[in-house]
Structure 1
């Protein structure tokens, strides 16, 4: 099983990335809340991974911390939640926001996520409450020690590229094209034409969750 990758970030196409490790490029999918924290392309990166083997595919999912991966693994054990929906949930809110929603029976926040209806949200609250009771202990000490990547600045994309990347990311996460197009257009208008893809996606997700 592949549990961690350390190498060079060579591509970002949200929600997918590619990391080169000793000449081999590994493709991963990441929650947007994790992808936001990555350095620029060409920089060193370490990603905690979860490996999924299916009859028709072998998939890698990446996270910045062991706690985030633990939450993903708990989510895919829940009834009706597969890796794709788990990725969408963790893209729409951080791990700690999800835990807060579960522990406070905040169904209304969960139903704003694509693919999460009221019944699914209520089931998640019931199923995940006990599993997340020891959430604090899921985070190893190493999670509290961020990797120092130096003075990194976001890579800026042209307006067309950022808009296209953001639209593709939201559709991949399960949002309807019309929803994605409207929220991305509003995000670009609010942030300006020089905004990076990650900034546009973050702003669009905030508006969709509002």
Structure 2
């Protein structure tokens, strides 16, 4: 099992990261909560990982904080939730906010996360209510972006679609929140807040 990686961040194209460790490039999927707080390309990064091996695939997921990795793992114990939905949850809400939603039984708010319908939200509340205690930790603020790429809106659009949002909804969200000079990460963050009514 691969539990932690320390290396150089070679690329980040949400939700994908490429980290070089000892000459080997590891491709990982990460939630936006981790991507927001990553250092710049070429900088050293330390990621906690979840290594998933299935019959037809091997995947590696990266997280900056233990609370995120723990929630990612706990979510997949709920029937009907796989890695894609678990990443969408972590991309859409903080661990603290998710824990509050589960503890208060807010099924309506949970259904605003892509891939989570009413029945799945109800299962999450029932199955995770006891497990989310202690997961919530204050997360650091997002560092300022060093500069927006030339097509930040396009990059944000692709990332949001990979998180499970429908193309028409993504286009509407990006047009609604994008401002001149925004980085892709800033657009994604604002779009996720808008989608979840935050």
Q: Give yes or no for TM over 0.5.
A: yes
* 1:88-99 mapped onto 2 (5 Å cutoff): 88-99=88-99
Q: Residue in 2 aligned with 1:33?
A: 33
> What 5-or-longer segments of structure 1 have no aligned partner?
none
Work out whether residues 28 and 59 of structure 1, in 8 Å CA contact, stay in contact via their aligned partners in 2: yes
Match of 1:175 among 154, 159, 165: 165
Question: Structure 1 or 2: larger helix share?
Answer: 1
Alpha-carbon distance between aligned partners in 2 of 1:34 and 1:156, rounded to the nearest angstrom: 18
Q: Residue in 1 aligned with 2:196?
A: 209
Alpha-carbon distance between aligned partners in 2 of 1:83 and 1:135, rounded to the nearest angstrom: 18
Post-superposition Cα deviations, 1:10-58, rounded to whole Å, max 9, x if no partner, equal 1010011111111111111111112101111111111100001122221
Q: Residue in 2 aligned with 1:48?
A: 48
**Superposed displacement of residue 187, structure 1:** 1.9
Q: Residue in 1 aligned with 2:70?
A: 70
Q: Secondary structure at 1:135's aligned position in 2? A: coil
Match of 1:165 among 151, 155, 164: 155
Q: Residue in 1 aligned with 2:107?
A: 107
Q: How many residues align?
A: 195
TM-score (norm 1): 0.87
Alpha-carbon distance between aligned partners in 1 of 2:47 and 2:78, rounded to the nearest angstrom: 24
Alpha-carbon distance between aligned partners in 1 of 2:18 and 2:144, rounded to the nearest angstrom: 18
> What 5-or-longer segments of structure 2 have no aligned partner?
none
Alpha-carbon distance between aligned partners in 1 of 2:144 and 2:166, rounded to the nearest angstrom: 33
Q: Secondary structure at 2:116's aligned position in 1? A: coil
